[in-house]
Structure 1
């Protein structure tokens, strides 16, 4: 059995007020402190684990780097949406590879990929239509 650790994007936590005592004469609140942490996910796989990064060139002139992790029975795609990293998981697809994360759908077929917001009308245009520019193991 093979194990794989995935370190997800660094998350900013809520600001926590300082614990120091305030001078009663002071009118300004203490400066908040911030913290960040990383999420680590361990996956076990009965077979080999494949990780690759595919860079896509999208119709909005944006370059999108997608990290794929194939660790049967788990198949993941990690990609940025609206400035945040999202972990997409595979789901049933009639053709190609279909991944979902919350309201978002990332669907690839060959070198083509489409990002959609499933909360939009069915006829709404995709958020991005992309073409694979490179594959990096």
Structure 2
């Protein structure tokens, strides 16, 4: 099992460029000057990840009105992300990180408890990144259900 470095509030958010569900390259730098909610989820089209993604979808308007852009990231292939976005009406970018390099940079991959077993995998995590590219909030080991409501409360939205 691997150790993982956890990000803390105030640290520079790791830079990245990844393809979205349409194959278009997206970089964190593209959002400089805007606030970003970046959420890592284990696998597209699974029950928990669908719940979380749809909760973000349903909160996109108030989040954007408050100045936040939502980005989802998983290790799924671009084609699977396209099917996920189409199936569930997800209009925000879903980013593909099959090599897990961005997951590792954010500490969103490593040891976790899965039904009583310690395994290595994607750790459901959310990061709020400020307009200057710094981590404002780093939330690790979050639950899919109710998470978006907690993020909105944390942000006063």
> When the two structures are superposed, what TM-score results if normalisation uses the length of structure 2?
0.26
Q: Higher strand share goes to which structure?
A: 1
Q: Higher helix share goes to which structure?
A: 2
